[in-house]
Structure 1
Amino acid sequence: MIPAYFFAHGAPSLVLERHAYTDFLAGFAGGIARPKAIVLFSAHWERTEQTIGAVDAHETIYDFSGFQEELYRITYPAVGDRKLSENIQALLAKHGIPSGFDGARGLDHGAWAVLKLLYPDADIPVVAMSVNRHLTNEEQYRIGSALAELREQDVLVIGSGGTVHNLRRLNWRAGEADAWAEEFDRWLQGKLEAWDTEALFDYRNQAPYAQDAVPTNEHFIPLLIAMGAGSRNREAKLLHRSYQLGSLSLSCWQFD
């Protein structure tokens, strides 16, 4: 059974960079079984109803500006999987979670920037999933839990976001990680490894520097969803963590 994963996607330029995290992503696929399909929740696709991608082939969305021209020439033409999309809706409905389909939207950079490094040939079907910042943290986790059985079908469930993601706190001259960002991530690591959902759901009140690390929650939501998808054995493992610009965390979590 393939674990569920959370990947930080950093800036769109991640796909053009070369450092420890991109090296980790490039070598990731060799360490797990090849999935039959990928279900990916991106922080950059927000809807008030849980929405399921239902396209035949994905267009590449350039939902950013001011970056290198080369970025706007990158494509990730993965196909969709309508049968899987329907299966996802059935699983969500089974757990009382309403959802709808989107038959037009392609992959935003929260999806393709990571996938391009993980599976550069775009030869695995992808179903994109939205996130809803207005749900409780318990509800985010429950969405992931509803899809946990997809892992038994060799489907790779991914949440793509960032644990410390505050663009206003970026330090363009930083040579090392900011202490406050590391402290938040250490708190998070302890609660994830202990599978302390009570504390995690209340992270805004309990975690140090929570407001600095998570000023808005859309990038944190995919972590909770991925955790929920890996809730069967309740084992969390940090596979990588590094930082850019002082506080932009680049991490990968595995949930078994």
Structure 2
Amino acid sequence: MKVKKFDLPPVNPHGTVVIRVDRLIKRFVLRHTRSMKEAFIWLVNGRKGDLNEKFNAVNEVTFDIREGERVALLGKNGSGKSTMLKLISGVMVPDSGRVLARGRIAGLIEVGAGFHPDLTGRDNVYLNAAILGMSKEEITEKFASIEEFAEIGDFMDTEVKFYSSGMYLRLAFAVAVHTDPEIFLVDEILAVGDEKFQKKCLERIRQLCLEGKTLVVVSHELDMISKICDRGIIMDGGHMVFDGPVDDAVKIMRGESLDS
């Protein structure tokens, strides 16, 4: 199926590098047991090896992203793409290698990340926007626009622990897009909102792209990826296995031939 792309400006292939991922490794512990009983059964059954094995969720990955690029991180569940996005955002620290980023980063990595459950939506706007680098004066100036975009009405003065996941999404997205980021990171979070709000979010993302902002997105929605991205990076088992035009990346993810 041919997907109509957004009409977005071409990216300068010699433009400024705004994200550099250099030989990146992120290691996690895979716990096989959580109790003495399970450990005893493990040993009695002759299982060998460390009960807490380490594995590389991201393994020796290197790439550059230039200013204005729209990059999709693709792969099956557990491939390392969301971990990669968290490393770029600074939410996680690598075990080896480095991530360098230039410019203000706004990320929608997890629903409600950066929100304090016992504070109201209003208070969390100020808290979250400050975390993303805005001054109190900037937040106050943009608050009405944030409130209008979020569309949560009187719930703005309700503690966010009473919010649904959709309300979290609306407020988090509204804050993030009003920080005027140079780099915008999105991880599957658009799947939480209703269709109307998803379209609204996509239109705002399109506007950011038209302004020359850099976009890095993780999603299984391949049609959406085809619309807004120009480059695709495929992860598999922590390794980068493809880096090229997004249309080719989508074909690979769908199991199609690149010649078709």
Verify same fold: TM over 0.5.
Answer: no
* Higher share in strand: 2
Q: Which has the larger radius of gyration?
A: 2
The alignment's TM-score, normalised by the length of structure 1, stands at 0.32
